[in-house]
Amino acid sequence: MDNMKHAIRFFLVILALSPAMAYAAGDAPHAPEQDWSFSGPFGTYDKASLQRGLLVYRQVCAVCHSMKHLFYRDLEALGYDEGQIKAIAAEYTVTDGPDDEGEMFERPARPSDKFKSPFANEKQAKAANNGALPPDLSLITKARHGGADYVHAILTGYEEAPEHVELLPGQNYNKYMPGHIIAMASPLMDDQIAYEDGSPQTVDQYAKDVAHFLTWAADPYMEDRKRTGIKVILFLLAFAAVMYAVKRKTWADQH
């Protein structure tokens, strides 16, 4: 009987502590679901949003975050022509060589080059960000649960820290970040980036566009995969119909 009482008391203590344990383990509100054009079996990328997202990445995110798996030539999928891609690439300089004298040299980037990283190496990146390593964004929507929803939530989830939360220098409060503590300061503000197509220049729109762009970067062949899947399904349905007709004809002759 005493053992039963101790077991019940232990269970009640664990139940009472579970919210605090969850918070300490990094619990955070679920990222709100957004309406994405690429969602669903027939979803496609919105090229206008992709181009705006690239602009947000280049003007804001690229200061700290690399995209080491992306080449400038890949931007053709966003609707840019060869001349535009060359112009975008030429805005950056990359190290090349060695030359005939064995020296490395700087030159304008070409479409065949990878996106230039903001830092030469991880140690330099950490030194510039209070010891925190900014993650590469090439596959971020694949690496984080929630994908584009997660990216959008993090970029729009900054708030003043509650009174019971003490932030250290270089820390920020984000309601959607696991544990709610994030090293990155809020990178976006309204009217920060000029959109030439008349789209809203708000934090919410910037976050949606860059999340859209990062989803494409992580899965550039999504549209081809979906089209192939639909064709396969249609073929299988037609094949099943033919096989059913053959079966009916075969058994009809048997009778």
Residues 6+ apart with CB under 8 A from 58: none
| pTM for the structure as a whole | 0.82
Q: Which domains does the chain show, CATH number per domain?
A: 2-32+42-69+123-220 (1.10.760.10), 71-113 (no CATH)
Nearest to 211 by CA among 228, 190, 188: 188
Residues 25-36 have a mean pLDDT of 78
d(CA 88, CA 51): 12
Three-class SS state of 140: helix
Reported as a pLDDT band with limits 50, 70 and 90, residue 15 is very low
Nearest to 61 by CA among 207, 164, 191, 175: 207
Joined tokens for residue 208: 């949606």
Residues 6+ apart with CB under 8 A from 244: none
Q: What percent of the chain is predicted at pLDDT more than 70?
A: 88
Q: Which pLDDT score is estimated for 71?
A: 97
Joined tokens for residue 45: 């990328």
Joined tokens for residue 120: 């030469």
pLDDT digit string, tens, across residues 38-70: 999 999 999 999 999 999 999 999 999 999 999
Residue with tokens 């060359």: 86
Residue 115 pLDDT more than 90? yes
Count how many Cα atoms sit within 13 Å of the Cα of residue 85 in the half-sphere of its side chain: 18
